[in-house]
Amino acid sequence: MKKILSTLLLLFAMLLSACGGVKYELKDGVLYGDGKEASGTFEFKSGKNKVKGNFVNGLPDGVFEKYYSDGSIMLKDAYVGGKNVAEELYYKNGQLMGAFSETEALRLFYENGNIVMSVNLQTGETVVYHENGVPLMAILGNSAVIFNENNEMLFRIDNGQPVDLGATLNQLEDGSYELVKDNKVLAKIDANGQVGTYLYSTGEPLMSFNSSNNLSEILFKDGTVLFKSDGTNFTLNYKDGKPLYEAKGENWKFFSNDGEEIISNFDNITDIKKLD
């Protein structure tokens, strides 16, 4: 009887120990289980979003998936030995929103799959695209080019000097100017030469600039702002004017088309569970 009782007490103690479980915590980018570097597949919450991925000796390794509140994939992060080497962002319908890696440019897409912008993080080359996929503006080093939706070059500058594209600058009666080529107005500039607007082939404002405050805007044909910058910070918008991407200094944010912020780092980690 005593032997049976002892066995039952031992089993009870083992059950209590199992119920206590391992205490996991993520500290300075390293996952610990009861103070030791943890390995395996884990699920946890980062803010209000669920995340699933693999850790090896406490460091993220492999592909981590973060999910929207409805269960659809928000992003996929690829890690090698704790280093984030690639990332993909998704719309709630599964369409790719953006992608970047150590070797490839950052690319941003609209929900219909059309590319919006690409940035080479190594060379700094930046290209913004029209809705039809034609480059709108390209910047590399000290050179910049602007195209209309028909891929016609409106402006080019190399090493701080405008390049002659065969256009004529005509002064109007009010003192303002029009840049004309082949009897078509490419741009309008104020009398002081500080505020200017490049035009679509059909006459709508395409891009405006103000040299007095470094403010520039790129517009959709309906007048909605696609891109806005003050020389330091910039915002890239959806067609309805809501932000897709914001960059302020070294801080940046992505947003889904319904306004939900897409956070790629691991903040406010809770509910860590080991899956295998």
DSSP codes of every residue in 173-207: TTS-EEEEETTEEEEEE-TTSSEEEEE-TTSSEEE
Distance from chain centroid for Cα 99:
8
Domain assignment present for 49: yes
Q: How far apart are CA 197 and CA 200, in angstroms?
A: 10
The pLDDT score that the predictor gives to residue 1 is: 45
Domain assignment present for 32: yes
Tally of domains in the chain: 1
Domain assignment present for 206: no
Q: How far apart are CA 15 and CA 8, in angstroms?
A: 10
CA nearest 86: which of 55, 107, 56?
Answer: 107
Domain assignment present for 79: yes
Domain assignment present for 169: no
CA nearest 92: which of 270, 268, 259?
Answer: 259
Q: How far apart are CA 139 and CA 162, in angstroms?
A: 14
The pLDDT score that the predictor gives to residue 10 is: 46
The pLDDT score that the predictor gives to residue 13 is: 42
CA nearest 148: which of 166, 123, 131, 160?
Answer: 131
Domain assignment present for 28: yes
> Contacts for 166-175 with beta carbons within 8 Å, 24 or more apart?
none
Contact present, 212 and 194 (Cβ < 8 Å): yes
What's the full length of the chain, in residues?
Answer: 276
CA nearest 205: which of 214, 195, 216, 197?
Answer: 197
Domain assignment present for 100: no
- Helices first, then strands: H and E counts in the chain: 1, 29
Domain assignment present for 96: no
Three-state secondary-structure class, residue 131: coil
Per-residue pLDDT of the chain (276 residues; tens, 9 = 90+): 444 445 444 444 444 344 457 889 999 889 999 999 999 999 999 888 999 999 999 999 999 999 998 999 999 999 999 999 999 999 999 999 999 888 888 899 988 899 999 988 788 889 999 989 999 999 988 899 999 999 999 999 999 888 999 999 999 999 999 999 999 999 999 999 899 999 999 999 999 999 889 999 999 999 999 999 998 898 999 999 999 989 887 788 889 888 888 877 777 788 999 998
Q: How far apart are CA 110 and CA 87, in angstroms?
A: 17
The pLDDT score that the predictor gives to residue 17 is: 42
The pLDDT score that the predictor gives to residue 22 is: 86
- What Cα–Cα distance (Å) separates residue 155 from each residue in 1, 184, 220? 96, 14, 18
Contact present, 261 and 253 (Cβ < 8 Å): yes
The pLDDT score that the predictor gives to residue 249 is: 78
Residue 40: domain span:
21-90
